[in-house]
Amino acid sequence: MSIPTYVDRSSNASISDALTDLALDMRWSFNHAADRLWEQLDPELWELTHNPWVVLQTASQEKLQSVTANPDFEELLTQLREEKTQDEKSNGWFQKAHPNSGVSTIAYFSMEFMLSQALPIYSGGLGNVAGDQLKAASNLCVPVIGVSLLYQQGYFRQEIDLQGNQQALYPFNDPGQLPIRPVRKPNGEWLRLVLPLPGFELWIRAWQVQVGRATLYLLDTNVPANPPEYRAITTELYGGGPELRLRQELVLGIGGWRLLRALGLQPEVCHLNEGHAAFALLERAGSYMKDSGQTFDVALAVTRAGNLFTTHTPVEAGFDRFTPGMMERYLKKYAEEKLSISFERLLALGRQNPQDSSESFNMAYLAIRGSYAINGVSKLHGQVSRRIFQGLFPRWPEEEVPVTHVTNGVHMPTWDSAEADRVWTLACGKTRWRGALANMCHDVSAVCDFDLWQLRAESRRILVHYVRRLYTRQSAARGAPKEDLARAAQILDANVLTLGFARRFATYKRPNLLLHDPARLLNILTNREHPVQLVLAGKAHPQDVEGQDMIKQWIEFAQRPEARSRVVFLADYDMLMAEHLVQGVDVWVNTPRRPWEASGTSGMKVLVNGGLNLSELDGWWAEAYSPEVGWAIGDGREHGDDPSWDSTEAESLYALLENEVVPEFYSRDERGISRRWVDRMRASMARLTPSFSANRAVRQYTDDCYISTAAAFRRRAEKRGSLGADLVAWEADLAKYWPSIRFGSATVQQTDGQSLFQVQVFLGDMNSDAISVELYANTENDAGPVIEKMSRDERDGEETGFTYTAFVPATRPAGDFTPRIVPQHEAALVPLEAPFILWHDAPSWR
């Protein structure tokens, strides 16, 4: 369409160019002022889509001429453009905090990104984390570039029929209606990549998404030159079978790294958001081989130092695996011709036991063996992940399995309401999420009771209005009778305590725990003096019959005459709906089975809006909870899928609602304010919102991971990878000579409150500088293990063995300590890069 040209007096730029520039920069997805701009063009379409690019392309010339002639519209447009220009030119937190980091590009790979409902290429939590961290990176000016896939259908859309059954729909994502641009070469040609697949060379094209100062690149195989089955590789997120998944991950990992190279980018850091993109680590090593002339092993040792793997999976069975036969079909030629290694060597990178020819290839194992740092997404998930991956580090204590944690956070400017934004802006300033959040806790604590209580009341009113409109529309679409439509238009009450529960319906999330005793739940909801209402939403995977049955149970409960005005299940849970729910509910309920939540982010989104959490002590809530900020169920231990424990926790949930949550909400002072509720809101907002923000998470990744991995990569890459070659030689010597080392005698003496430990070690042909001898004592009273490095007596020799000595305070019995031998190299991470370990079998300290 032709957008009329209108000259802006201040900048001599056309309105058409300005609107297009703003519509194709997804900074609008976290800017409430931008909402007002697009709403003026088409209020109804904006409400339904929140897609400026669709709104702009749909508007008539007459409408555009009308709104652009409005001085208020012109002023707002000028303001947004000036903010965008200022943001693009200014130095941000990253440049100020790390002025000499030398980091130019951080490549962030993820199977999905949740940026907006206008770009539906996401399913849930994984995409939420990726999208929110990309936005926070933009706010903080951290040089992150995202890489993902452009799905023709994305994740399925949900419809609930009149019988309460979930129906899966797959609408087409028209690229022309998405806020994306083709990636073109300087001569205007569409950038095209080629990826060899069995019997065919796959063509891949790329799209660009602007997210403020950050960029997301999307790979797309829906190219007319490809055969239909290959065009369909990027059809659907998390659909199809293992072969489709393998093809998608080849495109994401290998194709994604090739795209970065084609764009002339040389990322110092490669961050894998889950193991789907782990093939990028092979391609990065292959690229370094080409640049340096080094072997694959050296290239991997060098490039590994710049790779970071974040795992989100709380169960070992959740990782992608591919059979040896499928791997051979797709990667044998790649291993031999691109990487110059045997196919067996490649398979070994993805196996726990490289000698087991029947073991499938595990993408998480490849990610670990190709990375310099590994982290879980909450403190508890870090512990769970160490247990999951302990098999890769045999005989190493679980607490030393090299997995740390960076707890997830959410992008607060995306999830806050306009009303919450006004409260935070008055308290903390407009640019509060662009820095280190130094005074945020203090500043928001000063917000008065009245303003906080009004925030909740107005947010709840807006939510009720939204639910009524949406539920009426959904009911009409599925053919509900007129009387049901009339009830839908009056559902819920803006003055009633509102609970929210929305997430994927899966058995481990226990979405029906609240339904454990339907009669008791009804009594809570329909109490005449202190009523409660419940808004639910969520999808079950199309192949998850149990999950779909749980949805149907809620639909049937909500259709009971006594529950109809107090319970509503909204179909087709997406990002736009999530925004409305987290902004409007008073309490967010979450009931997963510990420890299967990993992190969870839905409850974090209510924090900025003054909502409170009532949740299982799992994921992020296990480290966030205190009695002043919300409520918790669970005892902090694991109980599996024990039905009796489900009953116990359902009882706890009901009791908390009946005895604490509901009475506290309705206990009002002379101004009609619940002082205890407001105190809890203030504590939650001040203490938790900064700590569980994507701002904190991205700064933590930068400070703790990106800077150090980039420095390690640069160091290993110097002199054509000479340090990498040294590490490979060291690892080869360890593998060759480790079987020959052994312990001899072990003695201990007590003197002046110290224990003098001495052990005899025979190293055979092993270089004594390649190993370290240590004393180890298990964790005691949650203080962590004691690890004391022992010093070698230089007078000894191999014939008599080396004597290693250590002085340790005699505060623990000598029998608590066990000598061990571990690899040692000043540039290596042990046990990540060298999982060897030898324990003294049973030291009888003499």
Residue with tokens 């009532």: 614
Model confidence band, residue 808 (pLDDT cutoffs 50, 70, 90): very high
pLDDT at 255 over 90: yes
The tens digit of pLDDT for each residue in 342-375 reads 999 999 999 999 999 999 999 999 999 999 999 9
Shortest CA distance to 834 belongs to which of 787, 766, 754?
Answer: 766
Model confidence band, residue 795 (pLDDT cutoffs 50, 70, 90): low
Shortest CA distance to 28 belongs to which of 149, 240, 179, 188?
Answer: 179
Give the residues across from 158 on adjacent strands.
168
- CB contact at 8 A, 791 and 781: no
Q: How far is CA 320 from CA 230, 567, 838, in A?
A: 21, 38, 32
Cis peptide bond upstream of 831, omega within 30: yes
Cα–Cα dist 713/724, whole Å: 10
In terms of C-beta density within 10 A (0-12 exposed, 13-18 middle, 19 or more buried), how is residue 567 classed?
buried
Residue with tokens 């002025």: 99
Token pair listed for 400: 């030393």
Structure confidence at residue 3 (pLDDT): 35
Q: How far is CA 292 from CA 299, 711, 741, in A?
A: 8, 18, 35
Interhelix angle 279-292/296-304, rounded to 10 degrees, is 110
pLDDT at 451 over 80: yes
What pairing do the DSSP bridges indicate for beta strands 532-537 and 567-570?
Answer: parallel
The tens digit of pLDDT for each residue in 494-515 reads 999 999 999 999 999 999 999 9
pLDDT at 10 over 60: no
Cα–Cα dist 677/688, whole Å: 16
Shortest CA distance to 638 belongs to which of 670, 665, 668, 616?
Answer: 616
Cα–Cα dist 48/53, whole Å: 13
Structure confidence at residue 261 (pLDDT): 97
Task: Please compute the mean of the pLDDT values over residues 573-590 and round it to a whole number.
Answer: 97
- Collapsing DSSP to helix, strand or coil, 451 comes out as helix
Model confidence band, residue 798 (pLDDT cutoffs 50, 70, 90): low
Say how many C-beta atoms besides its own lie within 10 A of residue 519's C-beta: 6
Model confidence band, residue 522 (pLDDT cutoffs 50, 70, 90): very high
Helices in 6-116 by DSSP H: which ranges? 15-23, 32-41, 43-49, 52-58, 61-68, 71-89, 93-97
**Looking at this protein, which amino acid is placed at residue 473?**
R
Structure confidence at residue 783 (pLDDT): 76
Which H or E run contains 154?
Answer: none
- CB contact at 8 A, 426 and 450: no
Distance of CA 241 to the CA centre of its chain: 24
Task: Please compute the mean of the pLDDT values over residues 672-676 and round it to a whole number.
Answer: 97
The tens digit of pLDDT for each residue in 72-131 reads 999 999 999 999 999 988 899 999 999 999 999 999 999 999 999 999 999 989 999 999
Q: Which of 69-83, 284-298, 516-530 has the lowest mean pLDDT?
A: 69-83
User: What's the order of all strands across the beta sheet hosting 838-839?
Assistant: 786-789, 771-777, 817-823, 838-839
- Collapsing DSSP to helix, strand or coil, 437 comes out as coil
Which H or E run contains 149?
Answer: strand 144-149
pLDDT at 846 over 70: no
What is the average pLDDT score of the chain?
94
User: What's the order of all strands across the beta sheet hosting 497-502?
Assistant: 567-570, 532-537, 497-502, 587-590, 612-616, 630-633
- Between these two residues, 89 and 254, which has the higher pLDDT value? 254
Structure confidence at residue 1 (pLDDT): 31
Structure confidence at residue 630 (pLDDT): 98
The tens digit of pLDDT for each residue in 215-249 reads 999 999 999 999 999 999 999 999 889 999 999 99
Say how many C-beta atoms besides its own lie within 10 A of residue 5's C-beta: 11
Q: What are phi and psi of 680, to 5 degrees?
A: -70, -40
